[in-house]
Chains A and B, each alone.
Chain A
């Protein structure tokens, strides 16, 4: 009997299990949200690089605020948009630690525009994980700085119009003009293969930080089915069909590559 019981124990598929850095707390994210995917990817990379005991994250104001419930690493809070400034204050006095700033599009590209630009410009040796879902989630689906033209939100009910609401901001391209930024990549969460690219980008960003090369940021085109008024499958398609057209995925800047070329 006992051997039968043992045989009935469900075995996890090879290689797929909860990363050590991820807690078993059920997340508060809506079904189909991209935050959970990025949380998991970050946890996997921290595990694989053996950085769990030296990582310190800063959680933003917004949907990502409860990151400390999901990651088994030290986490600080920050005021809205000041996430990179808090990360700067941590990294400067603890240069040997892996410091992460996790931010949404409102936090990073609206209220925190000054902080992200100057943190990048100083070449702060931190990694920013930037969730671009073109919407404010936590507050109920208002226009984000990355909201696309014609996109309907709670505050652009007839669609975003450049003349009235301004244009979507391209964060990676903006930061690429600054000498302090070392590695900037935009990835999509629209498919398993794209998610794997996202994981590689996180790893590269962490390596950039550990090598002391300067500011690194990975932008994730991330689904928000709730405020895109779509089901999760439609939301993933929407990333490919709409969001990726406005925000083309790819490496926007890579100083390690540039330095390799020079040498």
Chain B
């Protein structure tokens, strides 16, 4: 795989990008719709002389990631929604132990076993910590196969930079769809030195990596230290895309597959004379509140298409601060809205807000 573009599924592109990012160990457990990623890694990791284990469970997989991460190596795991719930145990420990690691969630319908259709219903879990305790994880949301590759590559850098777990939040459609993708701009990464790693106490004092702090004040200090790190991430790592926001009178806020569909709705709306723009969050945590806040002073309303009953809409409302109406649209249960459905909802919202303005 050299300079040329190749046709790959999102799942496979994630795997190849991770290999280029220098992942030394991959641990996974089968679950649809991310199985192509585990299968890809089972072949490619061994070709590269790196570690692959099909673990006995997601609980074990994330703990194996923990073990390779305390060793100072880049490690990852992937799963889909129900499996990610199991991984939350280990993610919480990794956050407490300040360990880098990349966790890919190719979301499917829920709650419970749900189904294997694409969904965005793990947003709250992905952006609010997810497991127990006071912690955050960086969350990256690709909307194309190319971006699946780019963001996974970035995820390893961010994880090492901040010594924190990073989630890549894709969905079943992104995982399964094929698109042309290039890896030419993703050179074989050189991970940074990790003097904190457990490599045997040779020529130095023994080291420990733990999340246990029995002393209440000591844990409080640890919590405060983590809080400062999260504040720095919120300041430095916000990523988003703005589309035709300059003259927009209505603003779509969408990520991932919803954003892909909404881009087509935006195009059609413009053709019909509606001045619609879009903010596409790329980091879901830290969330791009600032562009939403700025847009709230200019647009008439916000429309938030999601493949859920409405989860990210709460972050949009936090950014809008009640200045303008914020509407949800979308399908759930593994369904995806069509561009026409979102366009119809845009027209509907226009009418609603015009009525409101007249009153």
Contacts and interface: CB of A to CB of B under 8 A. Distances in A.
Contacts of B61: 85
Interface in A57-77: 58-59, 65, 68, 71-77
A79 B69 contact: no
A55 B89 contact: no
A99 to B, nearest CB: 9
B216 interface: no
A37 interface: no
Contact of A89 (B75, B93, B199): B75
A92 to B, nearest CB: 4
Interface stretch (A114-122, A208-216, A240-248): A114-122
Nearest to A28: B214
Contact of B60 (A55, A59, A74, A115): A115
Contact-residue bracket for chain B: 35 or more
B71 interface: yes
A82 interface: yes
A248 to B, nearest CB: 29
A142 interface: no
A86 B93 CA distance: 12
B25 A74 contact: no
A35 B53 CA distance: 32
Nearest to B56: A118
Interface string B190-227: 00000000111111001111111000000000000000
Instruction: State the 3 A-B residue pairs at the shortest beta-carbon distance, nearest first.
Output: A89-B67, A85-B63, A82-B63
Given A85-B60, A90-B68, A90-B71, A97 B206 contact: no
Interface in B49-103: 51, 53, 55-57, 59-61, 63-71, 73, 75, 89-90, 93, 97
A53 B202 CA distance: 5
Contact of B207 (A74, A89, A90, A97): A74
A54 B70 contact: no
Contacts of A87: 67
Interface size class of A (residues with CB under 8 A): 35 or more
A122 B199 CA distance: 23
Q: Which of B59, B67, B73 counts the most A-chain CB atoms under 10 A from its CB?
A: B67
A27 B61 CA distance: 33
A245 B201 CA distance: 41
Interface in B173-204: 198-203
Query: Per DSSP, are chain B's interface residues mostly helix, strand or loop, or mixed?
Result: mixed
A86 B101 CA distance: 13
Contacts of A55: 200-201
B27 interface: yes
B90 A89 contact: no
B198 A76 contact: yes
Interface of B: 24-25, 27, 51, 53, 55-57, 59-61, 63-71, 73, 75, 89-90, 93, 97, 198-203, 206-212
B95 to A, nearest CB: 12
A76 B210 contact: yes
Given A79-B89, A85-B55, A114-B59, 9 more contacts: A65-B212, A74-B199, A77-B97, A82-B59, A82-B89, A85-B60, A89-B66, A93-B73, A114-B56
A58 B210 contact: no
B159 to A, nearest CB: 15
Contacts of B69: 89
Contacts, number: 134
Contact of B208 (A52, A75, A89, A118): A75
A88 interface: yes
Given A73-B206, A90-B71, A82 B25 contact: no
A78 interface: yes
B67 A76 contact: yes
Contacts of B60: 82, 85, 88, 114-115, 118
A118 B60 CA distance: 10
Interface in A159-208: none
A94 interface: yes
A74 B195 CA distance: 13
A56 interface: yes
Given A74-B199, A74-B200, A90-B198, A79 B67 contact: no
17 contacts: A52-B201, A53-B202, A54-B200, A75-B206, A77-B93, A77-B97, A77-B208, A78-B63, A79-B90, A79-B93, A82-B90, A86-B64, A89-B69, A94-B71, A94-B200, A115-B60, A118-B55
Contacts of B210: 59, 68, 75-77
A97 B51 CA distance: 16
A90 B200 CA distance: 11
A88 B51 CA distance: 11
A75 B25 contact: no
A118 B27 CA distance: 14
Q: Which of B27, B71, B89 has the most CB of A within 10 A?
A: B71
Contact of B65 (A52, A54, A73, A89): A89
Interface in A83-138: 85-94, 97, 114-115, 117-118, 122
A78 B60 CA distance: 11
A53 B70 contact: no
